[in-house]
Structure 1
Amino acid sequence: MTTLDDDHTGARIKEQRRLARLTQRQMADLLPYSYSYLNQVECGARPATAAFVAACAKALTIDVTVLTGQPYVTELQRDRLAELVRPIRESLDLYDLGPNPDISARPADRLIAAADHLCAEVRATRLRNAARELPDVIAELTHTAWSMPTTEVWQALVSAYRTAHDISVKLGYYDLSTVALDRMDWAAQRASDPCLAAVRQYMRALVYFREGEYRIGQRLVDAGRSVVDQAGPIREALAVGGQLHLGASVIAARAGDPSGVAVHIGEARKIAERIGDASNVHWLSFGPTNVALHEMSAAVEMRQYDDALKQSRRIKVPHQLAVSRRAHFLIDKARTEMETGHTESALKTLVEARRAAPEQTRYHPAARETITGLVHLARRTPDTLNHMAAWIGL
């Protein structure tokens, strides 16, 4: 039977609390959570929610990754993904040196297609493929942007930097994701593209969302909406604006603002009804389905698990929805099932998420926390749960 070791989020919270010389009572006073909840998480009796981890990190003035244990280096090395990160880091660093005389770049149209292909690979959760190809694409696009700059090439470079951000986040390298966001801004300014600039603000907002800085996250969303308004009422701008509302909805949920959630979900729904499925716009997956998925995610963030479970059962995920988005939905659904006592269903849902997107699921903190929670709740650990726990290194 699998049992919890000392390398879980609750144990890391306990370690960092002690390093800060705080008792559990003193720590609880700094959190919008009870002493009992903190005690249960620290001893592994219940899994830590993302909101709780963010609140602890903020109280202790440390990065969230210190508490989640990201990046999960042992598993990354086992999957031979860790070795792919350094070339990405180097490609992001060498952005300001001008044309590279040692590079023989592909024609611009092929590079633009390659950047788009990388976005598709990430949405299909083929992270290894994307990570392996990305450094060369960034290097060649950087060389071409310096030597033969066009709006289309700068836009493709923004897209490649966005892929670097997405891969870094999914693998837990948040320091690298921040560098990628800076590079997105650098290239977006040269592309003079307000929609891409707004997408970058949306992604910045999610960084602060993860860290528990909800006011800053909301300000960044507002900044993104101001930028995208410059593009006018075109379909692309409407889709980006709708996605910004969806980002604002989960930020409001995490901040405990249900009225804000309702407003932003309502605005996003109006846009989705107006333009329909716009999942092809900047790979944001925006459309009616994504609005429903975010409404459910907001309920999860507010710990309204009964409502979230009801919503999850009503959602019909279309086949064409990005695999990455489908896997995120399944991870959210598994959490709601566990929290509402449907542990067998939760395990089945996690297995489905693993089958659909193994790389994304293995390195997703919420999936790992749910597996940890199921292990604690199980009187007798089923073989499937044992296998899942071993798979994430528990």
Structure 2
Amino acid sequence: MPRDDHPRARIAKQRKLAGYTQHGLALKIGYSYSYVHQVEGGYKAAGPDFTAACARALHVDVTALTGQPYMTELQQDRLAELIRPIRESLDLYDLGADPDVATRETPQLVDAAGTLCEHVRATQLNKAARTLPRLITEITTAAYRTPSTELWAALGSTYRTAHDVTVKLGFYDLSTIALDRMEWAAQRASDPVLSAVRQYMRGLVYHREGEHTIGLRLVDAGHFLLDQGEETPEALAVSGQLHLGATVIAARARDADTVQTHLAEAKTIVDRIGDMSHVHWLSFGPTNWSAHELSAFTEMGKYGKAVEKARKLKMPDSWPTSRRAHVWIDRGRSEMETGRSEAALSSIAEARKLAPQQTRYHPGARATIEGLIHQQRRTPDALGYMSSWLGL
């Protein structure tokens, strides 16, 4: 890779600043010296799990190593200009009603919040990012003027969408703020289920950073919130999703027993309530259970098993585009790691066809293409084109 700001160069720089040799870093993160040497030397890709382990050991944010957000690509896609309005809308939550804003009726605002979620599930990130700031302002104003459970819950949902958008574009500082605002709205809606969803999403934030223990504690906190209320199908679906979140957190920690425990708990709920993909836009159901099983095998480095599961996984066309693309990215990574180069490139191309913006900014997709380049004696045109498109 010709770029000086490549992840391997950042890892080497931060390692030296922290005073570690390659041997020392390898001991700290639980990888072999050979693996660290190959990553820094450009012979092996820095996968998400390796990068998270380095970030944790070196006491830096994972974005310091990945280079997110990818500003050149964001500017090319005309997404960078949309971030400041989102930042402002998240910051001005406590100013009360905006006197210059006319608001729609509550049912219309609730529908608008749902439509915004649908844009993200369909990976229409540009459309969602453009709509988001104005809708946050409008629902906030309406909730201050005529407070109601419906409006506060709709605002919580809109903040959740802000988290989804900013995570997908690599602005993790904003995604954390959005989750704080989500809890602020959930408290006013007196909605423990919405608060539990927020704990699930916080757990995945710490998963990205390699803080597995904290991530699992947040999952437990989500279950505790649900236990305070009645057992409804909605609460069961969120409980099941919390278990699925715990599987990928534990998988990155290579804790196979905990992975199996949470998979089994989630399967019990799936068998009981079936497909509940409409609940808080979590996609909970049999297909999502299988997708998380695939992700768990990928995170644990059981790539052959992951490829086997991926081939058996049938995703209905009605399943959210964002989830289908994520499965293709997981599949591509496992295919790359098992030497199935053509299949891996095909999988990432499929993810790109489904969700181009999501794929372009997904660290797993970038690590897979980078890994394929390292494996090739010469770069085929299709791989070179994909690499250039990703900005590698």
Report if TM-score (shorter chain) is over 0.5.
yes
Distance in 2 between residues matched to 1:196 and 1:63, nearest whole Å: 27
Question: Residue type matched to 1:186 in 2?
Answer: W
The alpha carbon displacement at 1:4 in A equals: 4.6
SS in 2 for 1:282: helix
- Does structure 2 conserve the Cα–Cα contact (< 8 Å) formed by 1:11 and 1:44? no
1:156 aligns with 154
Tell whether the 8 Å contact from 1:334 to 1:349 is kept in structure 2 after alignment: yes
CA RMSD of the aligned region, Å? 0.9
Looking at structure 2, the residues matched to 303 and 48 of structure 1 have their Cα atoms a distance apart, in angstroms, of: 13
Aligned residue type for 1:314: K
Q: Distance in 1 between matches of 2:358 and 2:196?
A: 25
Whether the 8 Å CA contact 1:199–1:240 is kept in 2: the answer is yes
CA shift for structure 1 position 288:
0.6
Q: Which runs of 5+ in 2 are unaligned?
A: none
Partner residue, 1:350: 348
Distance 1:4 1:349 in 2: 25
What is residue 202 of structure 1 aligned with on the other side?
Answer: 200
Residue identity opposite 1:363 in structure 2: Y
Deviation, structure 1 residue 13: 0.4
2:15 aligns to what? 17
Q: Counterpart of 1:319?
A: 317
| Larger CA deviation: 174-183 vs 226-235 | 226-235
CA contact (8 A) 2:215 2:249 kept: yes
The answer to whether the 8 A contact 2:48-2:367 is kept is: no
Q: Distance in 2 between matches of 1:8 and 1:393?
A: 10
TM-score (norm 1): 0.98
Q: Which residue number corresponds to residue 170 of structure 1?
A: 168
Aligned to 1:309: 307
Match of 1:214 in 2: 212
Normalising by structure 2, report the TM-score. Answer: 0.98
Measure, in 2, the Cα distance between the counterparts of 1:40 and 1:69.
20
Residue of 63, 66, 70 corresponding to 1:65: 63
Alignment of 1:149-298 (within 5 A): 149-298=147-296
* Corresponding residue of 1:53: 51
Spell out, residue by residue over 1:187-206, the C-alpha distance to the aligned partner (whole angstroms, 9 max, x if none).
00000011100000001111
The Cα of 1:166 is off from its aligned counterpart by: 0.4
Amino acid at match of 1:245: H
SS in 2 for 1:30: helix
Which amino acid in the other structure matches residue 116 of structure 2?
L
Letter of the 1:80 partner, please give it: R
Greater relative contact order structure (CA < 8 Å, 6+ sep): 1
The residue type paired with residue 139 of structure 1 is T
Deviation at residue 241 of structure 1 after TM alignment = 0.2
- Distance in structure 1 (CA, Å) of the matches to 2:316 and 2:285: 11
- Indicate whether 1:29 and 2:30 are aligned: no
**Cα displacement (A) at 1:136:** 0.5
Q: Identity across aligned pairs (percent)? A: 61
In the TM superposition, what is the alpha-carbon distance from 1:9 to its structure 2 partner? 1.4
Greater Cα offset, 281-290 or 38-47 = 38-47
